[in-house]
Amino acid sequence: MRKSPLPSEITPHAIYLERRKILAQMGLGLAGALSAGAAPSALAGTGQKLTGYHPTAYGQDEKLTTYDNITTYNNFYEFGTDKEDPASHSGLLKTRPWTLTFEGALKRPRQIGVDDLMRLFPLEERIYRMRCVEAWSMVIPWVGFPLQKLIQWAEPTAQAKYVEFVSLADPAQMPGLRRAVLDWPYTEGLRMDEAQHPLTLMAVGLYGEVLPNQNGAPIRLVVPWKYGFKGIKSIVKIRFRDTMPVTSWMKANSAEYGFYSNVNPAVDHPRWSQATERRIGGGLFEARRKTLPFNGYAEEVASLYNGMDLKKYF
Ligand SMILES: Nc1nc2c(c(=O)[nH]1)N[C@H]1C(S)=C(S)[C@@H](COP(=O)(O)O)O[C@H]1N2
Ligand SMILES: [Mo]
């Protein structure tokens, strides 16, 4: 299976950070992530450990959001529009067997099961700052692999300029589909170069465990320099296209949600400011934080948008 199994069989989230510290001291390349002080979690988690994943240098020198907050304050409208709905109503989601279908501009259409996929690519842990368009943020230790690798494997043709992602839409498993809050299935998209950027992750876990359903099990997208809604959950289809996909949020309200949706404190949402954000779990008296261009990842990604008017292409 995956390379270099690590002593990562430790269960309680309470000692999670301690483990990371030990790994760092062992010289396993964990940088900057010693964000001590995340509170112990009262929740059990999925209980399914992911083993053999590599800690990486992608760490934020910031306190991790607690497991409880990450898994009970969610947006996953297929299970309802309240923040607690996904945790309460995603219990029926069946995440195995799970097949990803690849179609469109590629050498040949393909399908692969999610377990086979996880065997193909070594898993990494990456701590990313996440910023929702609703002006709140979290710091999440994801486990996954770069989308770049999956794209290489899928062998798109030169026609592929965009990648379109499609979530599962099964009313038997997803009670939120009864309401037409969005044009189901949830779809998202990236430009090919965004999709192939090394920061763009396909996540299968968090806090060292298999993703809970409410966070997009069994596999979801994570694009840390874009607003959270680009991080489409429970993906069943990936389509390579020569034209820009029209995403669910663009269909719902194209004046408020553009294709790019890069985190940009200088471009307000028409109904609220994007200049600051509230860190989830910060407590009543914690000051709002200044939102950073590209959510703090400008050094890595700003060059993708050279010469583009980011007020126009919001
Ligand atoms: N299929 C699907 N994916 C989705 C959503 C959704 O409603 N359906 N919500 C998005 C939004 S708005 C956010 S902020 C993130 C939240 O991810 P999290 O709950 O794991 O923090 O998921 C995104 N992915
Ligand atoms: Mo969001």
Provide the whole-model pTM: 0.89
Atom of ligand 1 nearest to the CA of 70: 21
Provide the residue count of the chain. Answer: 314
CATH of 11-302, one of 3.40.50.280, 3.40.50.620, 1.10.3720.10, 3.90.420.10: 3.90.420.10
Buried b (16+ CB within 10 A) or exposed e, 150-182: bbeebebeeebebbbbbbbbbeebbbbbeeeeb
Q: Which CA distances in Å does 302 have to 80, 130, 187, 194, 307?
A: 34, 17, 24, 11, 10
Atom of ligand 1 nearest to the CA of 86: 19
Answer whether 74 contacts ligand 1 (Cβ < 6 A). Answer: yes
Which ligand is nearest to the Cα of residue 128, counting in written order? 1
Atom of ligand 1 nearest to the CA of 234: 1
Residues 131-175: tens digit of each pLDDT: 999 999 999 999 999 999 999 999 999 999 999 999 999 999 999
Q: Is 6's pLDDT higher than 50?
A: no
Q: Is 7's pLDDT higher than 80?
A: no
pLDDT band at 280 (very low <50, low <70, confident <90, very high): very high
Buried b (16+ CB within 10 A) or exposed e, 84-99: ebbbebbeebebeebe
In this prediction, residue 78 carries a pLDDT of 98
Structure tokens at 258: 């553009």
In this prediction, residue 60 carries a pLDDT of 76
Answer whether 186 contacts ligand 1 (Cβ < 6 A). Answer: yes
